[in-house]
Structure 1
């Protein structure tokens, strides 16, 4: 399905209500986000049953507040707008940990 970036709050809220979505909350200043970011294209390609949405926590503060995101990087899996699971809470994560989370909600 691919990755969508630079969406407005409104666009994210509209698109998250249909199908399987994986929200990846990140920010340019976040060192733990920078750690996982190089692995994300491969993870997104491997788990393409999700439509990935990269959410900039600062640019999309309304979305981050809606989901109660206090730390980044964080991941939230949705299906038709319903939360399937979340992972992260602002701690450094390895690519394997991210993949284990995705597999746990499959």
Structure 2
């Protein structure tokens, strides 16, 4: 969401994540514009990261806490091995 300071905090890292993890396709979903979708996927803390493989969720990093660059990188690395 545009108003979310934690979302704004991770935003500068997103191009680097996309470049360093080409195995993933990244999508940005504005929670305020797609609240029903977020509720369907039990996403209430933002920013959140979900990983899907062949249409199935295999990993999630969802919490109300600010996520560091290192935590997100670890999550993505761990998700590669699932």
TM over 0.5: yes
Gaps of 5+ in 2: none
How far did residue 62 of structure 1 move? 1.9
CA–CA distance in structure 2, aligned partners of residues 52 and 90 of structure 1:
20
2:56 aligned residue: 82
Normalised by the size of structure 1, how large is the TM-score?
0.71
Query: Does residue 94 of structure 1 match 2:62?
Result: no
1:44 aligned residue: 18
Greater helix proportion: 2
Greater strand proportion: 1
Q: Tell me, what secondary structure is at the counterpart of 1:105?
A: helix
CA–CA distance in structure 2, aligned partners of residues 87 and 95 of structure 1:
13
2:59–2:79 contact (8 Å) kept in structure 1: yes
Gaps of 5+ in 1: 1-26
CA–CA distance in structure 1, aligned partners of residues 78 and 6 of structure 2:
22
CA offsets, 1:46-95, max 9 Å, x none?
A: 11111111110011112101101111010000012111110031211111
- The runs of at least 4 aligned residues of structure 1 exceeding 4 Å deviation read none
